[in-house]
Amino acid sequence: MKIDKPIKPLPANPAGEGAAHAATKGKSNPPPAARQSGETSVSLGSTAAQLHSMTSSMASTPSINAAKVAEIKQAIAEGRFKVNPEVVAERLLDTVRDLMGSRA
């Protein structure tokens, strides 16, 4: 199956970037922000602080239990690993309940 080229070519620059380049193109003056001296203060708000806190706590928590993974791999290789469908179904329902509860 042949895919035809689009009728209109896509712009080379992301939206809005072309206008900024066109305005400063050919000028040797630095942008106004570069000409100003002093400090700039930025406040990201409480959400950024919460995200930073969560990132820090997650970094210290191991994401996997390597010993448990090795144990399960060994059981699968030896044919001893049994799946209990009732437990899988119950835990799946618990997860759905938790997700629905967090939305409310």
Over residues 6-34, mean pLDDT: 54
**Is residue 87's pLDDT more than 90?**
yes
User: 10-23: buried (b, 16+ CB within 10 Å) or exposed (e) per residue?
Assistant: eeeeeeeeeeeeee
Confidence at 36, pLDDT banded by 50, 70, 90: low
Instruction: Name the percent of the chain lying above pLDDT 70.
Output: 63
The distance in angstroms from the start CA to the end CA of the chain is 48
Task: Calculate the alpha carbon distances from 51 to 25, 54, 59, 60, 70 in Å.
Answer: 39, 5, 12, 15, 32
